[in-house]
Structures are given as C-alpha cells and as structure tokens.
A and B are shown apart, each in its own frame.
Chain A
C-alpha cells in the first residue's frame, strides 16, 4: 500500500515545552486515520506541521510523497484542511465561500462551477447555497467547511475535530460523509475526542502529552488491551502513561 503521510521523530517545541514529541507514523492511501488524544495532547500541532502551517523543530515528515521541509508548495496543492475552529467567512454566502476557495487554488471559472455543483450535492447543501454562512446551523457550517476543503479535489484531507459541538445525529451524518469521501479514494486524517467515532476509523493513533502511545486498527487495539470499547482502551492507555510519567 502506498503511504500518504509519513513522519519520523517529528517534534515541535514551543520554547521549552514540547507539544509534539518524536512522533513516528505511517498513514496509508485511502484510509480513514483517527487521531485521538486529550486536550493539549498535540493533535492540532501535529496537523499544523503536516499542512505546512507550522515548521517542525526536528524530525522528518512527508505528505503525498513531498517533504515538509522544502516542498510545502507541492504539499499544499494536494491537501485539504478543515481547521478545529470554524474558519470560513461568516459574512459571505455558502456559495461565495466555495467560489473563493476555488479561486485561491487557481481553478478555472468552469472548473469552480462544476466542483461547486458536485460538492453541494456531496455534502447536501444545495438548498443553502445562497444563504449567509453565519445563518447556517453549526452542523451545516461544518459540511460547508468540508466542501471547501475538498473543492480542489485533494488526495489527502486533514479534518481537525470536524464534529465538535454538534448533536449525535449531526455527528452521525457527518461521519457518513467522511465514509463517502473515503470511497472517492481519499486519505482522511481525522482528529476527535469522541471514542465512538474512533470505532468508525480504519486505524487510530492515540496521542498523550505529545507522544504517540498506540497505533492500530480499533479491533486490534481492543484485543491487545483486552477491552470491549475504544473508550476503555483509551482510559487504560491514559492511566498507564500517567503512571509511567
């Protein structure tokens, strides 16, 4: 299998504080990779390094086969990113937001129109295309953010807590969307706090205080730690890390 994201001892320090500590990880093409960790574990920091928003302090990383140290230009064209904090323009309509992102990815006018139609369909937002983004319910804003991240048809998509703050029903339907997106052959890198969501992933990585303490398919991790849910696995891992520390 081809590797989409590869890191080797990737580290980021802020002053003397180490937010991401020698993380080594492979994410395969077409996989939904779940990324778990408590608040402040370093998930967002890791994603920011992989998307070129933040320079690593040490270590290696390749995204879509390109190096984060020197080829961020090439990486940027091949990734989509949905940040933890909703960050589209509230004072633009849903459609204007999409058009804008099409423009900054250098798409042609007709390409933008075509992609917009496909994506509104994909995320189920056609009826709201002309609405001001600020008037959309949060669940719909998140779908719009996903549509923006997918507009230039990137092979790799980073979703940083895409379902925070919405009800279980909206979460469920967003995950359906993630599945559908994976079926288009894309690699999805998804962070979450919700352990039930971890169950939907092909593989998960669990992060604790900057370190990656376990990686594997949910089923395998549950067997390995002899637990029936990911929730229990997470708690057990968390406790043993605390004790070790």
Chain B
C-alpha cells in the first residue's frame, strides 16, 4: 500500500470510528429517513383515502341517490350532504370541512334517461394542486363505475386533458418514493460532509492533520468514502421499503440506478464540501446544508409540485436543481424501465453539474486550507 492510500484509509477509518462511537449519529442517519419514508407514505395514503365530499343534491331523485351512493361506496370519499347554496361552498372549503363538492342539478333525474351526456358539477379545492388532481381522478373513477352499473353518461364539466401514463391511478407512493430517495440522499450527504469537515475546523483538529504530509485530495477522499457507503445503504433501504411496503414497481436496471445514484451522491458531497469552505461552525454548516437542499429539492425538483404548473422564473431556477434530473432518472428507471440511452439527457446534465460543482469545491477547499 503506498503512503497516499494509507493516509486515505486512515482518514476513512477514523470517520467510521466517529460514527460508531456516537450512536445518536447512527439514529439520525438511518432511522430518521426510514421514519420519514413510512410516515410520509401512510400520511399521504390516509389523506387521499378520506376526502370530505360535500353533496348538494337538488335533484333528490332515486338515480341521484344512486350516484351519491357510488361515491359513498368508494374508499376515497367521505360523503356529507350539504343543504346550503353553492355560494356557501367557499366557506366550507376555507374551514376545511370539505375538499370537494358534488352539485347535482334539479333536472338530473329527468335528463339522465334522456340526454346522452348529463352534466354534474364537481368543484375541487385546489389549494393543494396535487391533491386536487388526485381527487379529480378518483371522481372520474367513481363516475365510470356508476356509468357501468346504471348505463348513463355523466360528463363532468371539465375535460381530462391528457391521459396519465405509467401511474394510471396516480398512486402517491409511485411519486413520493423516488422523491424521498432524491431528497434524503442529497440532504444527508450534503449535511454530513459539510458538518464533518467543519467540525474539524471548529475543534482545531484540521490544523493537526494539516501539519502532516496529507494532501487536500486525500482528506476529501478519505472523508467522503464512509458517507458514500452510508448513502448507498440508505438508498437501498428506501428502495426496499418502497417496493416491499408500498408496492412501487421497479421496471428498469438496478445497476443503472446505482450508477446514476453515485453521480448524484457526488453532487451532494461536492455541495457539502463547498459549504465547509464557507461555514466556520457546525451550526452554520448545518443551516447552510439545509437551506441548500431541503426546500429547493422539495419545491423545485418536481418531487411534490409539477414543474409545468409553476411560474416561469421558478421553472427556470429548477434547471439548476440537481434533484430535478435525478428524479427524472429514478422515475424513468423505476416506473418506465428506461434504458441508458433514454436517460442520456438528464444524466448528462447531472454529470456536467456534478463535475463543475466538484471542481469548484475542490479548488476552494485546497485554497481554503492554505493559510
């Protein structure tokens, strides 16, 4: 083993020792993401299952009663009759007593047997656009079911503009498992890297290392190896839980995902390195890591809010969010079974971003260490 390798190994080994000696860090690293994932999973599932639906049935006919019964019978809706006027619905939405309303017009019973397409009105509280999309799709399912049984044709007063592929019933787990994978990987890696380096500066131990013949490059490699291993392990855990517990499919290649995930992990490590050259204390590093990863990834990666429904400037900003590309890759591989050639574009962008970020961070780090 040459001296350089020995130094890298010594640093990596020490980094593992820090983690092993501090059980709290293990809890934060492993238990928290899993907790987040399961909580997220069940919270989302519950929310979507019991949507309060206010029903304004002005028809009061047997057939309208059947329609309401079909909604009632669906696990997604919880039906409540509402006696007020349509303009009082706003109050209902504001008070969160209902998230959608079904308005059945007085002529519904008569028209149902005469007209080829009888309209009912569905109003959805779109404060949460994703939930609104889900509710709309569930309503369409319920109505399709009703039509199958009673032979009418109800047209909701809006069009379904595009069919949703790959995730026809918009199962939320399909969305949040890749999203959480992207979020947790970048958050954890950036945080751990920036904190571990900043801690050495804060405690004065960095100085003790720097009087030895260690080179900046060896410090970087030695320090990140343990976190690459940890991140990979956590990635595997999240995926396993997603697949086993939430039934998310995995249609593509594991090797491909591992490859692209490594690039993404290096992005996060570079961000952490960059932060460590700016922050003087662990506290500041933690804050910076969180600001750099948490909100941008949640809001601007397409994880929760569809990017296409965002204002232009935000869409533009989203182009520099690494998670956006990684998310495309993960969804592509898991849900669509994409191959390497189909993912060249997001992978290319991610790779270029990572290289740039890494080179800048490395340069800054080396200069930073020289007094």
Contact = CB atoms under 8 A, between A and B. Distances in A.
Interface string A36-65: 000000000000100111110000000000
Contacts, number: 78
Contacts of A86: 204
Given A51-B211, A91-B22, A104-B212, A96 B17 contact: yes
A175 B232 CA distance: 50
Contact of A92 (B21, B211, B214): B21
Interface in B172-214: 203-205, 207-214
A73 interface: yes
Interface residues of B, number: 26
Contacts of B9: 103
B205 A101 contact: no
A73 B213 CA distance: 6
A102 interface: yes
B13 interface: yes
A11 to B, nearest CB: 14
A55 B11 CA distance: 25
A83 B204 contact: yes
Interface string B5-28: 011011101100110011000000
Most buried by B among A102, A104, A105: A104
B371 A54 contact: yes
A53 B10 contact: no
A85 B200 CA distance: 13
Nearest to A79: B211
Nearest to A87: B204
A106 interface: yes
Nearest to A97: B14
Contacts of A108: 6
Contacts of B128: none
Given A48-B371, A55-B370, A92-B18, A103 B207 contact: no
Contacts of B7: 103-104, 106
B3 interface: yes
B17 A53 contact: no
Nearest to A86: B204
Contacts of A103: 6-7, 9-11, 13-14
Contacts of B209: 104
B13 A100 contact: yes
Given A85-B204, A89-B18, A104 B10 contact: yes
Nearest to B18: A91
A102 B14 CA distance: 12
Given A54-B371, A96-B17, A106 B208 contact: no
A88 interface: yes
A103 B219 CA distance: 12
Contact of B211 (A53, A85, A88): A53
A179 to B, nearest CB: 23
Nearest to A100: B14
A172 B207 CA distance: 27
A110 to B, nearest CB: 13
B198 to A, nearest CB: 15
A81 interface: yes
A73 B207 CA distance: 15
A186 interface: no
Nearest to A102: B10
Nearest to A158: B211
Interface string A122-143: 0000000000100000000000
A83 B208 contact: yes
A13 interface: no
A76 interface: yes
B205 A87 contact: yes
Given A53-B371, A104-B11, A81 B208 contact: yes
A76 B212 contact: yes
B211 A52 contact: yes
B211 A100 contact: no
A76 B213 contact: yes
Nearest to A72: B213
Most buried by A among B14, B18, B22, B213: B213
Given A55-B370, A83-B208, A87-B204, A104 B18 contact: no
Contacts of B11: 100, 103-104
A100 B11 CA distance: 7
A132 B21 CA distance: 10
Contacts of A77: 213
Contacts of A55: 370-371
A11 B125 CA distance: 71
Interface string B353-371: 0000000000000000011
B14 A96 contact: yes
Contacts of A92: 14, 17-18, 21
Contact of A91 (B4, B21, B207, B371): B21
Contacts of A107: 6
Q: Which 10 residue pairs of A and B lie closest in terms of their CB atoms, listed nearest first?
A: A103-B10, A106-B3, A54-B371, A87-B204, A81-B211, A87-B208, A76-B213, A85-B204, A100-B14, A104-B212
Given A91-B18, A91-B22, A103-B14, 20 more contacts: A52-B210, A53-B207, A53-B210, A55-B371, A73-B213, A77-B213, A86-B204, A87-B204, A87-B207, A89-B205, A92-B17, A92-B21, A100-B11, A100-B13, A101-B208, A101-B212, A103-B7, A103-B11, A104-B11, A106-B7
19 contacts: A52-B211, A54-B371, A77-B213, A81-B211, A83-B208, A89-B14, A90-B203, A91-B18, A91-B22, A99-B10, A100-B13, A101-B208, A103-B11, A104-B7, A104-B10, A106-B3, A106-B6, A106-B7, A148-B208
